[in-house]
Every structure is written in C-alpha cells, then in structure tokens.
Amino acid sequence: MTFHIDGTDKTVIAGGVRIGGGNVPVRIAGPCAVESRKQIMEIAEIVKKAGAEFLRGGVFKPRTSPYDFQGLGWEGLEYLKEAGEKTGLPIVTEVLDPYHIDRLVGQIDLIQIGSRNMHNYALLKAVGETGKPVMLKRGMSATIREWILAAEYLAASGNGEIILCERGIRTFSDYTRNTLDLSAVPIMKKETGLPVVVDPSHGTGLRELVVPMSKAALACGADGIMVEVHNNPEKALSDGPQSLMETGYRKLVSDTEMFMVKKKV
Ligand code: PEP
Ligand code: MN
C-alpha cells in the first residue's frame, strides 16, 4: 500500500498564510468559544494588535458534560466571521458534525478537527472530500501511528492540505490537564513532512505554563502555536483557567519574537 503522506516536506496555505515547509511560524489565537459578538470582536482586536496570523474560536463545542455551554452554533460563526473581516485575520473553527461541513467550509479559512474526533473516521472522510485546509488535533490518547493514520484518512479522501496539532495526551501526571508531548513535533515532522502546530493551552490547562511551553514548542521546530486568549477569563464559559489575558498574550508574542524567522530546511 502506498501512503499519501510520505514524509515529503509540505507547505499548507490557509487564508493566504503559508504554514510549514520552513516558513515563519504562525500564531493562532482567540477564545476557546465565541460567547458573544462583543467578546469575539474585543479578543480579535487584542490578538491582531499584539501579533497573530489567525483568529480561532469554537462555535460548536465538544464539551465533556452535556450541561456545559455547547457554543453559539451558526450565530457564533457570524460573529467570528465579522471579527475576522474587521481585523483582516483568517478564521479557524472546529467542525463536530459531518452534516455541518458543507455549510461551514466556504465560510472559514481553516477547519479544525478536535482531539475527541481524531478517531471519527466518517468525519475525517467527509472533511477529506472537501480539500479544505484542515488542522487535525491529536487524539488525547492517540499514539503517533494512530495520529498518522488519521491524517492518512484525510489524505486518502483527497485532502493533502493537513496541519497537525499536538495538544497534549493523557498520562498519570495530573498536575497539568494533559501532558504536552513535545517530542511529537520532530517525530511528526520527520514521519509526515506536514506542518506541526502546538497548543499549549489544552496541553497544560494552566495559563502560567502557556508562554514557557510555547517557547519550548517553537524551539523544537513547531510551525506554529495555537493559544487561547480571553478578555475576561474569570467569566469565560469554557477554559478560562488556561486562557491568556491581553498582557499574557503580549508577553507570549514578545518572548517568542526570536523564533519568528524562516527555518532552514
Ligand atoms: C479546541 O481547540 O477548541 C479544543 C476543544 O481542543 P481539543 O480538541 O484539543 O480538546
Ligand atoms: Mn478550549
């Protein structure tokens, strides 16, 4: 069997931005969830002003409890789009349901498949058929091989525009929400050639660890970092404790400035 993903270095272009292939690392930032028009507009301005290439925001949220905030759905997408247009930032959001794909793809720049859905092969096939740039997050208990094969599902369905995202795995260690497996960065780059982004927000669950782990991710070759930013984390409807405030995000940008250069490949 010949694999579609064969380790050849790949640049993915999403929203006009080049990711991977030795290009300058990208900064994806925004709230866990779009909560209101005002909230996403304010956060979009914060991350744009500080330095970000993409605005993220969940509109359909895969929450552990069915009683927790599930996202604003299509209404949230309208606000996310408006915030993206106002700031000029391309937008990223997660798809949960294969039935949403057709409506979603034309409206966003990068489609996210979340950790809980990395093993959802129907969803992978359906997103694969769109050819839309996709960011595939690592399943929280997925091995390297399982993750590569999930990406292969996308590629085999016709979509080679894949970005991988390491977001931490479950281990016995319980101080942090997950254990951020930074060894996956050079491993996945070597094995797949695909761009690899790191999400230290879900990877640690702790705001104070986001800046140091972002630096570590970029030092070991990550092609981008995705972090959660909120204008009022205390009141956030999801993931407040891991969300950076404006000052924290500004610090992240200045502390990682040295990595914002093209890499030798
Ligand atoms: C997210 O990025 O919004 C998210 C839900 O993360 P994960 O799928 O990694 O849990
Ligand atoms: Mn989150």
Reported as a pLDDT band with limits 50, 70 and 90, residue 144 is very high
Cα(26)–Cα(83) distance, integer angstroms? 19
Asked whether residue 4 is assigned to any structural domain, the reply reads no
Residue 238 falls inside a structural domain: yes
* CA–CA distance, 18 with 11 (Å, rounded to integer): 6
pLDDT at 264 over 80: no
Q: Are 122 and 104 in contact (CB under 8 A)?
A: no
**Residue 133 covered by a domain:** yes
Residue 265 clears pLDDT 70, i.e. is over it: no
The residue to mutate among 28, 54, 199, having the most atoms of ligand 1 within 8 angstroms of its beta carbon, is: 199
Position in ligand 1 atom list of the atom nearest CA 165: 9
Ligand nearest to the CA of 226: 1
259 assigned to some structural domain: no
Binning pLDDT at 50, 70 and 90, where does residue 32 land?
very high
Q: Give the mean pLDDT of the chain.
A: 98
Q: Which domain holds residue 33?
A: 26-242
Q: Is residue 161 one of the residues assigned to a domain?
A: yes
Please check whether residue 65 lies inside any domain of the structure: yes
What are the two backbone dihedrals, phi and then psi, of residue 133, each rounded to the nearest 5 degrees? -50, 135
The pTM of this model reads 0.98
Number of domains into which the chain is organized: 1
Give the residue ranges of DSSP H helices in 88-181: 101-105, 121-130, 144-156
Q: Is the CB of 115 under 6 A from ligand 1?
A: yes
Residues 218-232 pLDDT 10s = 999 999 999 999 999
- 141, 173 Cβ separation under 8 angstroms: no
Chain Cα centroid distance, residue 193: 18
Return the pLDDT at 263.
86
Tell me the mean pLDDT in the region 91-102. 98
CATH of the domain at 155: 3.20.20.70
Which residues on neighbouring strands pair with residue 58, listed in sequence order?
Answer: 33
Ligand 1 atom closest to Cα of residue 116: 8
Q: Which atom of ligand 1 is nearest to the CA of 32?
A: 3
Closest CA to 59 of 90, 32, 29: 32
Q: What is the 13 CA–ligand 2 centroid distance (Å)? A: 24
- What Rg, from alpha-carbon coordinates, does the chain have? 17
